[in-house]
Structure 1
């Protein structure tokens, strides 16, 4: 007999599978072709893609847009095997084209497993997400966050989450909008590190995140087992991490009382699209909490290193000061959400092994967390928040959220887009030219502020792990880690790859396909944004010349190639630039404008 609480996967049906497979195969062909792994051939009736063995053919209609973006008409996509119609199947597509995709044979099953998990989550979203984009216009920030269906716009296997069970998915996945209570541990003070940003103390951090009765109860818990509360710090933990990792892997530490389970906190949180970061829905003014989560997702095991995070608050203070002190960035309303505190436990045998023998391991990234500022207290009257990833969202019926926002704003699409570019592209370009400062400005890392449904300014987040100083300006010792030495052409990829190819390519295609704005006109507006910045900042002409943002072409840095090469670890986080993979060059869509 089936248990009443057993997850039954009712969302996995022939109907949901067919819809999801069509979407994922369309995306896979488009993105693999964009990265020049697959080369469709033009025919009299559209496009054709044939497997290396010649047995399987895919035919489809598509428009090729700037940056070699393939806007494939999903409904037109058909597959035949040995001349007979066959069902679309993204896993079979990968197997069929494996010789061209460059996946090591030993990792093909891992990639196929991540695709299966992506199918599962996509099927759940297809079945459960009935909210149309018109209903999302004006919706609460976290309603929009949970409504996102795509994951990363470029990666095909983008919802791997290997390690999650179906019950974990339903309880914790961002798209379910589930409310989660974080687990709190007491960690022995002498065997942990707490780093605090400017203006914070340990006491003020905890008092801001936990009400006095909760703190008192935690202290009483320690006293009840004969421990002095002053000997411990408090560390928030993902509930999955407690059950599946900490309670087992740190059994000796728990027995020694170096770690003590305090229980769940009373606040409800919601997982963000980054899956291990939580927004406080009970008290939205409180910090985000980013936790270690030892699942395999999109090329990484999602742990957090206490050593790596130690300088994070200092890095965030530095970047905040640069941004806050710049009048141009202030005029854009651009600011950062500081990661203002980080904590990690280092009293385990894995850290001792690293100290004695230099052995590095994933086990050193199991127990850490950080706190990030919430954007909610910084909202003005009439302003609302959305993740920038939402601009690339389509609902179940294929309708675009960006188009819905434009319609609701009452503005013409050019005016709306110009405001968005001034909120996003202008500050990113200014940070590059004025400060040699590069972010990782993809859709999930920015929170947009809307006024009358128009993006007017932006918050940048995830600063500690994904910011780089590419110049030789003096840096505080704790901040020196973020300095990278790269060529001028590689510096410019912070705009060309991360913004143009990573975000705007997809938005341009949405507006083009929906008939709102031709892609050529879209890139003309992007060029106009860059020219306005140049005209306003003649003193940055030398920097602009070295970056050469209007160059004819730029190196084609490819994301799926990274994951296909090593789905377990796409890049070396200590030297990300050297880990990148390229496929020739792309024509710059703003060149000559």
Structure 2
């Protein structure tokens, strides 16, 4: 299942063909110019304008040449660039489009330090490598994805995070690892199971689960008995250990060597591969069980560098993860409005964290080395699916296939609704519950595309299912009366920043891209989209007059809001963008954005 042919190394680069390389460089340049301009790092110069399209010039800082292109600047200063129009001239002659050369040309303007530059260039190269693979692969068309199953859609995504320019760095993977472990490679893989000594590891679970039941449901009696025999053959007692899954890459590249003392002392015992086949999800370190879909997702520590972080899992965060999920599930389930909307969370129901005493005692500050061996189990959405319904990652709404066709447009065509009514149904399923969580409970999530699963009927959104809870949910009230086990949910955020949980994470982080696709591919002008957003907000507010004071204090129709800049974060420190203990304190801002709802206060 996991064998990749090492005998033909040229196969690992067969997708790196001149025509495809030119295509993906053009697409990445389109994104780089758009996102860096959105963050005010670049300032393209308008030359002329006609029918809403502008002709722009972007001088190369050293004076050697310029980039020219056609673009429309939409709401939230979103640059919709015609990729075919991008041209580069150097010393008066046409020059090829080269994303790496672009980064070097604008290095000073982008503020990339000499110590960060090599890693960032490597991330750009890796992003191009992955993009070339996906375009060479082709895969299912947008129209075919309207009928595809949940995991076929998941593994067909082309772009990754819509905001980050270097969004597929995955530094640590080699070319063989890419074909084994990248979500788009769609290679079924088995996880490696470890026995970890209870002196080093801690198990936590939801109130309605226990360790033995989890193992029975995830492994079954026969596998468990085989693992017990392996331990007994080494004169070890199964009762002294916890069983946990690990990412195969993590075992071979990190744990077997960096945790060698723990292996030698039998604090870690490798038991080999499990039997079930899994597919890596868009988040790359989370796995969906394709052998038995009713079994849980598994999320593992993975010490590769991707989008500003080493993708580990803290054993200390793991301790409270199930309790936090239980508490949020109880809050959501006990709220009549959220139940009516069908809003649900996929609980992270169990976790194991392993503490390496050498790294713990030898490193005083937070470090990726302390996060190399943990795992959690998350409920499967298959358990929530009613007959006749289907699931799709919300990231799919931004998907453009290899032929340039929009999946969103294909979904709308197949639904029997016009674009405006489809959007209204989508907003009711997605935005309305988030509004209620914020205004009624001061509860916020990280609701970007990869963290949401949509339940569809006839390709019309019916409800939203939220995942990735414990590390990214928060109660925006440090004085909230919370049980001690979930106290870390309560965070202190300046009053003027609280609404950024919606403005930044929903409006700028997702709707900015969605509205552009609706405008470009679906025939729905962006103004009409924002009218529907405004209508969704007003409809919600009319249902809860008792929250009027909070609606006024946190006004979604205010004229402007602070512009939070993701790429500025990554360019400033592409190995640890944020201190997760104080994420609000690390954000980077550049001026303000005009709120598109300010035009639709009373439509």
Category of TM-score, reference length = shorter chain? over 0.9
Give structure 1 regions of 4+ aligned residues with deviation exceeding 6 angstroms.
none
Between 133-142 and 6-15, the greater mean CA deviation after superposition: 6-15
The answer as to 2:151 corresponding to 1:142 is yes
| 1:39 match | 43
Q: 1:250·1:348 contact (CA, 8 Å) conserved in 2?
A: no
Instruction: Give the match's secondary structure for 2:596.
Output: coil
Partners of 2:473 and 2:8 in 1: CA distance: 44
| 2:598 match | 591
| 2:71 match | 62
The answer as to 2:570 corresponding to 1:563 is yes
| 1:48 match | 57
Pick from 21, 30, 37: which aligns with 2:34? 30
The answer as to 2:390 corresponding to 1:384 is yes
Pick from 301, 326, 333: which aligns with 1:317? 326
Question: How much has 1:296 moved relative to structure 2?
Answer: 0.5
Question: How much has 1:347 moved relative to structure 2?
Answer: 4.5
Instruction: Give the match's secondary structure for 2:582.
Output: helix
Q: Deviations over 1:208-239 (max 9, x none)?
A: 11111001101111001111111110010000
| 1:131 match | 140
Q: Describe the shift of the 1:549–1:44 C-alpha distance in structure 2 as closer, same or farther (beyond 3 A).
A: closer
Instruction: Give the match's secondary structure for 1:535.
Output: helix
- Residue ranges of structure 1 left out of the alignment (5+ in a row): none
Question: How much has 1:359 moved relative to structure 2?
Answer: 4.8
Pick from 305, 323, 337: which aligns with 1:328? 337
Partners of 2:339 and 2:466 in 1: CA distance: 13
Q: Deviations over 1:432-468 (max 9, x none)?
A: 0000001000000000000100111011000010011
Partners of 1:344 and 1:243 in 2: CA distance: 19
The answer as to 2:343 corresponding to 1:339 is no
Question: How much has 1:91 moved relative to structure 2?
Answer: 1.1
| 2:290 match | 281
| 1:426 match | 432
Pick from 410, 413, 418: which aligns with 1:412? 418
Q: Deviations over 1:286-341 (max 9, x none)?
A: 11000000000000001111012211111111111111111111111101001111
Q: Describe the shift of the 1:50–1:545 C-alpha distance in structure 2 as closer, same or farther (beyond 3 A).
A: same
Instruction: Give the match's secondary structure for 2:536.
Output: helix
Partners of 1:359 and 1:427 in 2: CA distance: 38
Partners of 1:247 and 1:531 in 2: CA distance: 56
| 2:485 match | 478
Partners of 1:495 and 1:359 in 2: CA distance: 32
The answer as to 2:17 corresponding to 1:8 is no
| 1:454 match | 460
TM-score by length of 2: 0.96
The answer as to 2:537 corresponding to 1:533 is no
| 1:303 match | 312
Pick from 300, 303, 307: which aligns with 1:291? 300
| 2:501 match | 494
Partners of 2:189 and 2:548 in 1: CA distance: 50
Q: 2:12·2:176 contact (CA, 8 Å) conserved in 1?
A: no
| 2:552 match | 545
TM-score by length of 1: 0.98
Provide the alpha-carbon RMSD of the alignment.
1.2
Partners of 1:136 and 1:252 in 2: CA distance: 48
Partners of 1:48 and 1:463 in 2: CA distance: 43
Question: How much has 1:90 moved relative to structure 2?
Answer: 1.0
Question: How much has 1:138 moved relative to structure 2?
Answer: 1.7
| 1:171 match | 180
Q: 1:438·1:470 contact (CA, 8 Å) conserved in 2?
A: yes
Question: How much has 1:8 moved relative to structure 2?
Answer: 3.2
Pick from 496, 503, 520: which aligns with 2:527? 520
Partners of 2:78 and 2:178 in 1: CA distance: 32
The answer as to 2:146 corresponding to 1:114 is no
Partners of 2:264 and 2:190 in 1: CA distance: 24
Question: How much has 1:5 moved relative to structure 2?
Answer: 4.8
Partners of 2:386 and 2:12 in 1: CA distance: 44
Instruction: Give the match's secondary structure for 1:522.
Output: helix
Partners of 1:8 and 1:389 in 2: CA distance: 27
- Residue ranges of structure 2 left out of the alignment (5+ in a row): 50-54
Q: 2:139·2:156 contact (CA, 8 Å) conserved in 1?
A: no
| 2:52 match | none
The answer as to 2:202 corresponding to 1:199 is no
Between 190-199 and 342-351, the greater mean CA deviation after superposition: 342-351
Partners of 1:278 and 1:338 in 2: CA distance: 15
Pick from 261, 264, 282: which aligns with 1:255? 264
Q: 1:551·1:591 contact (CA, 8 Å) conserved in 2?
A: yes
Q: Describe the shift of the 1:574–1:38 C-alpha distance in structure 2 as closer, same or farther (beyond 3 A).
A: same
Q: Deviations over 1:235-268 (max 9, x none)?
A: 1000000000011111111111111010100000
| 2:358 match | 349
